[in-house]
């Protein structure tokens, strides 16, 4: 296999050195070069075009967003955004994801050397996933077995866990490519729609900026979930990065618990945790939807929803950025039906039963 050719674009010499060290240590990756800004990068890329670009968002002469839009218009190339974990950085990164970036990797403002130990797996995984991208169609890649299952947070579901109620709940899980897909789905929903709970794999703090952006675009209310928030019609709650979100029921009311715990299916928040808790709390009153994403998080949880009588959908391969999570759910028999992204809003609004 040919190594993945990577160009690193960041105005910090230290960041360029650290990223080059992390990526260059992997035999599957070749660092073509580094550049202090997009204009320098374009000059170098004329000689040899990279498979993946690791891109900062705040740089002199040309910012990362402008460069990204130029790339997507003239020569689409998979881009991994490397952004600082700040509120300003999170807001700008949301613009980058909306413009077509594949994923986010966070970099610290201090102690970059420690980054090599703590975040190298995330960076390498993001670059290798992006390398498979043809932007709108990425082939799936095998992933390592999960270290934990949802058992780490809550016990398995009993088939008789929840009787039918009148309040419908929609649970959605997604990862790579999910920011654009969720924007499409949620902006298409009218104010009167079922309560929605969402896990989108995303780093801490970025989920707040993501929810704020969606809230400004949607008719429904979109919030980053807080412990004890109610799930009500016309509201979507997004699990905060770095925490698990569980659906709970008290009498006729649904609410969420936001808790710490180990990564489940290698993720925190985990779709498996959300789906299992939805199976336990809502049973046949729930609809589960697994969307574009790398890996298998959510497949087992969606099967548990299916087994207790929930309606379950998987996004079809043609409309996925990454047909990984839906494919694994299909393999487990967790999906009632596959549907294209364009049909998901209509199915959220229907009162479907198995």
Residues taking part in catalysis: 175, 201, 297
Q: Alpha-carbon distance 121 to 127, whole Å? A: 10
What size, in residues, is the chain? 354
> Strand 286-290 and strand 169-174: pairing?
parallel
User: What is the longest distance spanned by two Cα atoms in the chain?
Assistant: 65
- Residues whose CB is less than 8 angstroms from the CB of residue 268 and which lie 6 or more positions away in sequence, other chains included: 242, 243, 244, 261, 262
Contact between 37 and 9 (Cβ < 8 Å):
yes
Task: Give the N- to C-terminal CA distance of the chain in Å, as an integer.
Answer: 45
Q: Alpha-carbon distance 212 to 215, whole Å? A: 5
Own/partner contacts of 329-334, CB < 8 Å, gap of 24 or more, are: 329/290, 329/298, 329/299, 329/302, 329/303, 331/299, 332/299, 332/300, 332/302, 332/303, 333/303, 333/306, 334/290, 334/299, 334/300, 334/302, 334/303, 334/305, 334/306
Chain-centroid distance of CA 219 in Å reads 22
* C-alpha separations of 252 from 162, 163, 232, 248, 351 in Å: 12, 11, 11, 11, 18
Q: Which of 15, 224, 205 is nearest to 119 (CA)?
A: 15
Local structure of 254: helix, strand or coil: strand
Can you say whether the dihedral through the CA atoms of 106, 216, 231, 292 is positive or negative? Answer: negative
Contact between 79 and 105 (Cβ < 8 Å):
no
Contact between 249 and 281 (Cβ < 8 Å):
yes
Angle between helices 271-282 and 299-307 (to 10 degrees): 10
């Amino acid at each position: 296999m040919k190594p993945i050719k990577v160009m690193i674009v960041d105005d910090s010499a230290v960041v360029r050195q650290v990223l080059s060290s992390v990526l260059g240590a992997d035999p599957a990756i070749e660092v073509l070069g580094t550049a202090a800004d997009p204009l320098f990068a374009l000059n170098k890329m004329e000689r040899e075009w990279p498979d993946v670009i690791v891109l900062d968002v705040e740089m002199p002469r040309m910012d990362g967003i402008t460069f990204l839009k130029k790339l997507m218009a003239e020569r689409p190339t998979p881009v991994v955004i490397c952004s600082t974990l700040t509120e300003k950085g999170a807001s700008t990164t949301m613009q980058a994801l909306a413009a077509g970036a594949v994923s986010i990797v966070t970099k610290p403002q201090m102690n970059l050397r420690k980054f090599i130990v703590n975040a190298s797996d995330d960076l390498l995984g993001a670059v290798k996933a992006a390398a498979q991208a043809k932007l709108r169609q990425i082939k799936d890649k095998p992933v390592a077995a999960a270290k934990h299952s949802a058992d780490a947070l809550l016990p398995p579901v009993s088939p008789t866990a929840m009787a039918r109620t009148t309040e419908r709940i929609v649970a959605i899980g997604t990862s790579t490519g999910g920011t654009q897909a969720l924007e499409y789905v949620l902006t298409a929903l009218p104010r009167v729609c079922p309560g929605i709970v969402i896990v989108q794999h995303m780093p801490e703090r970025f989920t707040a900026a993501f929810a704020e952006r969606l809230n400004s675009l949607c008719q429904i209310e979109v919030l980053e979930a807080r412990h004890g928030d109610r799930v009500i019609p016309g509201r979507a709650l997004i699990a905060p990065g770095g925490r698990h979100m569980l659906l709970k029921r008290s009498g006729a009311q649904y609410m969420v618990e936001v808790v710490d715990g180990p990564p489940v299916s290698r993720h925190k928040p985990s779709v498996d945790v959300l789906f299992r808790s939805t199976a336990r709390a809502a049973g046949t009153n729930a609809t589960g939807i697994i969307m574009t994403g790398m890996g298998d998080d959510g497949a087992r949880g969606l099967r548990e929803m299916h087994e207790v009588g929930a309606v379950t959908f998987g996004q079809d391969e043609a409309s996925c950025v990454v047909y990984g999570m839906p494919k694994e759910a299909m393999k487990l028999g967790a999906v009632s039906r596959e549907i294209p992204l364009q049909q998901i809003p209509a199915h959220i609004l229907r009162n479907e039963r198995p």
